[in-house]
A = this chain, B = another copy of it.
């Protein structure tokens, strides 16, 4: 089955890459460095619906991403979550958090409206 990214993720995010299992998205919200992994498998809403090999890939890709974000952004914490109450397609949030950020210590979900990047401050390298 061909994989289609959910229209809400298409709308809210910028697609920046692909790993073995997942598409890597950047949430278009400059308030937080916020990345999302979406396994490119149709009709999956919960992690347990992936097969064991896919689950292994997911946690490895998530950990690869989280470790690099921690270093690159000098993060105080990485918040990782599969929520999916509004967008059913399985997607895993990875949010770079600082003690000084505007939501700390609360989670970021549902807190603030997104403030999109402008062309100048979005440079994919």
Instruction: Report the Cα distance A70→B84, complex, angstroms.
Output: 14
Binding-face segment, A17-25, A26-34, A100-108: A100-108
Specify the main secondary structure of chain A where it touches its partner: mixed
A10 adjacent to chain B (CB < 8 Å): no
Instruction: Report the Cα distance A28→B82, complex, angstroms.
Output: 22
Tell me whether B66 and A46 are in contact (CB under 8 A): yes
Given contacts A79-B85, A84-B77, A107-B110, contact A47 B70 (CB under 8 A): no
A78 adjacent to chain B (CB < 8 Å): yes
Nearest CB of chain B from residue A3's CB, rounded to whole Å: 21
Instruction: Report the Cα distance A109→B106, complex, angstroms.
Output: 8
